[in-house]
Amino acid sequence: MDKKIISILISIFFLGFVKSGYIHSQIFSDDDGKCTNMLIGSFALEGTCIDSLILSCSLDLSSVIAWKYENSDCLGDPIGNQSYTTGGCVFSSSMFECTDQIYLPQNVNSIITVRHNSTEEECLDYKQGLVQLSYIKTSQCTPNVIKPNKYSFIQTCDESSITQVNYQSINCKPSTKTNSNSSPLPNNNCMNSTDYLSSYQFCYIPNF
């Protein structure tokens, strides 16, 4: 099937299964308070437990509240909370918004990871039980999560694989390139939904 047709079908597919009530968070590489170079984004279903956190929007949608729990299933009372202002650049490199739509970058391929709490029978159909959709823009220098001030990498993707090139520098300087590795796509990781969230990872190719 033609790549452009595939990308159109994916776009229609996303519009078809999203629900209302998502927290959209973005992280940017610049720290000047302008939030112009986006690296990573995530849409999390409001009011759902994800990694010991429950996110919710204020009634006037002016802020996002993250409730922290002691256990992974968010049972019992929260042990703390943090509020984030929506609609602007916060902490110099982050943005938050409350939305009823999922939309993805259209100027570059993105690596998409969908997390869901579907039953074992539903797991292959990752649209069931959607909890979180995360995306990473490809073809850009990204800081290493563990040592962001020392290492970096560039990822690319197509329908069949993700390729990551690693660098021993913070700005992907060509002379510091160390190695590259590839992982097959799509990657469907079905988990026991009573304990863990299943995930499905693939390459989103927009219709240029």
3-class SS of residue 7: helix
Q: What pLDDT score was predicted for residue 118? A: 78
Which pLDDT band holds residue 130 (cuts at 50, 70, 90)?
confident
Phi-psi region of 131 (alpha: psi -120 to 50; beta: other; left: phi over 0): alpha
* 162-177 pLDDT, tens digit each: 999 999 998 999 999 9
Number of residues written out for the chain: 208
Q: What pLDDT score was predicted for residue 193? A: 65
Which pLDDT band holds residue 16 (cuts at 50, 70, 90)?
very low
* 172-197 pLDDT, tens digit each: 999 999 999 999 999 988 887 666 78
Question: Residue 198 class from Cβ within 10 Å (0-12 exposed, 13-18 middle, 19+ buried)?
Answer: buried
The tokens 């939904």 sit on which residue?
193
The listed range with the strongest mean pLDDT (61-70, 90-99, 124-133, 147-156) is: 61-70
3-class SS of residue 84: strand
DSSP-assigned beta bridge partners for residue 118: none
Q: What pLDDT score was predicted for residue 13? A: 39
DSSP-assigned beta bridge partners for residue 24: 43, 97
3-class SS of residue 8: helix
Long-range contacts, stretch 139-145, CB < 8 angstroms, 24+ apart: 139/108, 139/109, 140/29, 140/37, 140/39, 140/108, 141/29, 141/167, 141/171, 141/172, 142/29, 142/39, 142/40, 143/29, 143/170
3-class SS of residue 5: helix
Q: Model-level pTM?
A: 0.81
